[in-house]
Amino acid sequence: MSPRTIAEKIIATHAIEGFVAAGGIATVTPDILMLNDVSGPLAFEQFDAMGAKAPAEPARVVLIADHFAPASNIDSATAIGALRGFARKHGLAHFHEPGRGGIEHTLLDELGLVGHGSIVFGADSHTCTAGAFNALGIGFGSTDLAAALATGRLWLRVPETIRVELTGEPGRYVTGKDVILHVIRQIGVDGAADAALEFGGPGLAGLGMDARMAIANMAVEAGADTCAFEGDAASTAHMAHRGRAACAPVLPDADAVYRARLEINLSGLSPIVACPPSPGAGVTVAELRGQRVDQVYVGNCANGTMTDLRQVAEVLRGRRIGEHVRMIVVPATQRIWREALAEGLLDIIAAAGAAISTPTCGACFGGHMGILAAGEIAIATTNRNFRGRMGHPDSQVFLASAWVAAASAVAGEIVSPESLEAVP
């Protein structure tokens, strides 16, 4: 057997036919099939058109209402209703909506549904977030997922792999967001097209699981099909915390073949901000000093974690957000919301003048609960800043970590949190 990358190894353990090597075609049975309130209704239409009567593997199907939820109009309520109706009709155990769920990619981990060596097929481009847990998450279209619902399997092209070797230790204000923004500015928004990004190396020990999620989440913004982190002691402990049975981490073979290799010394990184209209337009925070912001948004499928909320609260403690700035903070799941409440973080954030939302993808994809007007400028911990992404086509979005977003909320302009250290 030829030496394999992490992606090739995981695909091989799930393949029922085909050729598992870069460029090969394999038919795969995933561990989880995930649909949300945008992709689900479309998939259900195709599922019915195929003549399917019931999901082939109902225990593996996870339906999450997070994009349109809480429903803001009749159309969004109808979409969520379709998700709810499909779950009830087929007796699906995993249907999650406001109050009992959260944002899909964070929620999958929280529910213990992803871990070493598993595969998630999701009708959402940021399914690659699962890579943080030494797993593979692959995004598909709704029609593809309809076929997977009906048959329990789906074919895919085995991607080439780009190896990202991490060394050094990140500084105080350097986060997973900064790591992936650096990767994207290095290789470009299509630099990993038709490939998987594989992260490993000694620097991995300095990145917690939330930081790894932030990195994996934006692999697709580098053009990647998927991504995978090496499993280690941290991911093993995390699986145990989530109630998953212990299993060995998946590591690449020493002589695995890569399309390219990239080395990143974490010790040399500083906070990075991606300028509109591209996640690849990353610059240092210092280069944007003086850039005003109208809205600050903290949340999304990988940056509404307890780590992010603690960073925000540390910056905002005893401070107020700027007079001409509004700030919206969105915990990624109901459990995170409650944990942040119990820890006192939400009170600190609210006392600073920020609004706190129930878990939702609403503003991130330009749907609701934080839309920008013409000419407005936001700094956000989201993953995309294309023209019109969060509202009016003439608005602008800068992407940054929770540290930088919170500091910018206080200053009313883009700044590093270090700039606030000497100011009470």
Q: How large is the average pLDDT for residues 227-243?
A: 98
Q: Helices 176-187 and 209-217 meet at what angle, rounded to 10?
A: 30
- pLDDT, averaged across the chain: 97
Q: Is the pLDDT reported for residue 183 higher than 70?
A: yes
CB atoms inside a 10 Å sphere around CB 52: 16
User: Residue 357: which of 296, 408, 424 has the closest Cα?
Assistant: 296
Read off φ and ψ for residue 400, nearest 5 degrees: -160, 175
Answer yes or no: is 313 within a domain: yes
Q: Are residues 227 and 307 in the same domain?
A: no
Q: Is the pLDDT reported for residue 248 higher than 70?
A: yes
- Single residue among 238, 266, 294 that ends a domain in this structure: 266
Burial 2-35 (b: 16+ CB within 10 A, else e): eebbbbbbbbbebbeebebbbeeebebbbbbbbb
Q: Are 383 and 126 in contact (CB under 8 A)?
A: yes
Q: Are residues 260 and 280 in the same domain?
A: no
User: Residue 173: which of 211, 230, 131 has the closest Cα?
Assistant: 211
- pTM score: 0.97
Q: How large is the average pLDDT for residues 386-391?
A: 96
Q: Is the pLDDT reported for residue 424 higher than 70?
A: no
Answer yes or no: is 175 within a domain: yes
Containing domain of residue 346, as a range?
273-420
Q: Are 22 and 257 in contact (CB under 8 A)?
A: yes
Q: Is the pLDDT reported for residue 74 higher than 60?
A: yes
Q: Are residues 245 and 300 in the same domain?
A: no
Domain count, the chain: 2
Q: Are residues 149 and 212 in the same domain?
A: yes
Q: Are residues 282 and 261 in the same domain?
A: no
Report the alpha-carbon distance of residue 322 to residue 379 in Å, rounded.
14
Q: Are residues 161 and 77 in the same domain?
A: yes
Burial 374-411 (b: 16+ CB within 10 A, else e): eebbbbbbbbbbeeebbbeeebbbbbbbbbbbbbbbbb
Answer yes or no: is 103 within a domain: yes
- Single residue among 211, 242, 266 that ends a domain in this structure: 266
What pLDDT shows up at residue 365?
Answer: 94
Q: Are residues 232 and 322 in the same domain?
A: no
Answer yes or no: is 186 within a domain: yes
- Secondary structure E strands in 100-189: 119-122, 136-139, 154-157, 160-167
What pLDDT shows up at residue 1?
Answer: 72
Q: How large is the average pLDDT for residues 158-187?
A: 98
Q: How large is the average pLDDT for residues 104-129?
A: 98
Q: The dihedral of CA 277, 282, 287, 289: what is its sign?
A: positive
Q: Are residues 235 and 292 in the same domain?
A: no
Tell me the CATH number at 376. 3.30.499.10
pLDDT band at 423 (very low <50, low <70, confident <90, very high): low
Q: Residue 75 class from Cβ within 10 Å (0-12 exposed, 13-18 middle, 19+ buried)?
A: exposed
Q: Are 195 and 280 in contact (CB under 8 A)?
A: no
Answer yes or no: is 209 within a domain: yes
Report the alpha-carbon distance of residue 418 to residue 371 in Å, rounded.
29
Q: Are residues 279 and 357 in the same domain?
A: yes
Bond from prior residue into 249 cis (ω within 30 degrees of 0): no
Q: Which of 8-22, 235-249, 410-424 has the lowest mean pLDDT?
A: 410-424
pLDDT tens for each residue of 93-114: 999 999 999 999 999 999 999 9
Q: How large is the average pLDDT for residues 160-173?
A: 97
- Secondary structure E strands in 171-289: 195-200, 226-229, 260-265, 272-274, 282-284
Q: Are residues 165 and 216 in the same domain?
A: yes
pLDDT band at 130 (very low <50, low <70, confident <90, very high): very high
What pLDDT shows up at residue 422?
Answer: 63
- Single residue among 231, 266, 301 that ends a domain in this structure: 266
Which bin fits 142, alpha (ψ -120 to 50), beta or left (φ > 0)? alpha
Q: Are residues 251 and 293 in the same domain?
A: no
Answer yes or no: is 13 within a domain: yes
Q: How large is the average pLDDT for residues 351-365?
A: 97
Answer yes or no: is 381 within a domain: yes
Residue 109: how many CA atoms within 13 Å on its side-chain side?
Answer: 31
Task: Report in angstroms the alpha-carbon separations of 151 from 18, 30, 34, 117, 206.
Answer: 17, 11, 15, 22, 41
First to last CA, the chain: 61
Answer yes or no: is 1 within a domain: no
Tell me how far the alpha carbon of residue 44 is from its chain's centroid: 24
Q: Is the pLDDT reported for residue 421 higher than 90?
A: no
Task: Report in angstroms the alpha-carbon separations of 383 from 293, 367, 422.
Answer: 18, 15, 31
What pLDDT shows up at residue 373?
Answer: 98
Q: Are 142 and 272 in contact (CB under 8 A)?
A: no
Report the alpha-carbon distance of residue 224 to residue 208 in Å, rounded.
22
Q: Are residues 116 and 76 in the same domain?
A: yes
Q: Could you tell me what percentage of the chain is helix, strand and coil, using 3-state DSSP and rounding each to the nearest 5?
A: 35, 20, 45
What pLDDT shows up at residue 59?
Answer: 98
